[in-house]
Amino acid sequence: MPARPLVLYPDPRLKTPCAVIEAIDDSVRAWAEDLLASMDAAPPRTVGIAAPQVGILSRLAIVDTSRNPQHPGGHGLLILVNPQIVAAEGEQIFREGCLSLPDYTANIRRSQKVTVTALGLGGDLLTIDAEGFEAVVLQHEIDHLDGLLFLDRVANVKTDLFRRKTG
Ligand SMILES: [Zn+2]
């Protein structure tokens, strides 16, 4: 299955709330394969990708914090259909990047711990308790499914948004 081209800011598809997946059929499984291939084709240490970032406006995301060895202790590869945050507590500020905003990073305030429910590709109900880095990534990817980018959560553009060094 092929990697798909990344959708980049300010493409309006990134601002579009994604549709709930009603049935996990062959097309959803093919989307998941494309999404995984797109993540594999992205820069090393890419730890998450959401379906709208490859032009699929449905509630599907992949998180795999094991791709960044600086942040051990997560659940490894998670392929999430219709993920939802059902509980959250605490607070943390983390410097985030995004495949769809390759020129920027930003300090974003999010919950320290989250509980996420989702369906696996087999239709099984997943409940994921995550904290720290993995909790950040889950919240970032689920934001994508609601048409939100980290830019939408920057508290102060002057002090919290950073242009990446180029070249
Ligand atoms: Zn992103």
Q: Which domains does the chain have, with CATH numbers?
A: 12-163 (3.90.45.10)
User: Is 33 considered catalytic here?
Assistant: no
| Whole-prediction pTM | 0.97
Mean pLDDT per segment of 10 residues, for the chain of length 167 residues?
93 98 98 98 96 98 97 96 98 98 97 98 98 98 98 95 83
149 Cα–ligand 1 center, Å: 6
pLDDT for residue 165: 81
53 Cα–ligand 1 center, Å: 8
What lies within 8 Å, CB to CB, of 64 at 6+ separation is: 39, 47, 48, 74, 76, 77, 78
99 Cα–ligand 1 center, Å: 6
Report how far residue 66's alpha carbon sits from residue 154's, in angstroms, rounded to the nearest whole number. Answer: 26
Contact between 116 and 85 (Cβ < 8 Å): yes
Backbone angles phi, psi at 70, to 5 degrees: -70, -15
CA angle 96, 98, 104 (to 5 degrees): 70
Report how far residue 34's alpha carbon sits from residue 64's, in angstroms, rounded to the nearest whole number. Answer: 15
DSSP count for the chain of H helices, then E strands: 3, 8
User: How many CB atoms sit inside 10 A of residue 65's CB?
Assistant: 26
Report how far residue 159's alpha carbon sits from residue 3's, in angstroms, rounded to the nearest whole number. Answer: 35
pLDDT for residue 30: 98
| Ion ligand 1, residue ranges at CB < 5 A | 98
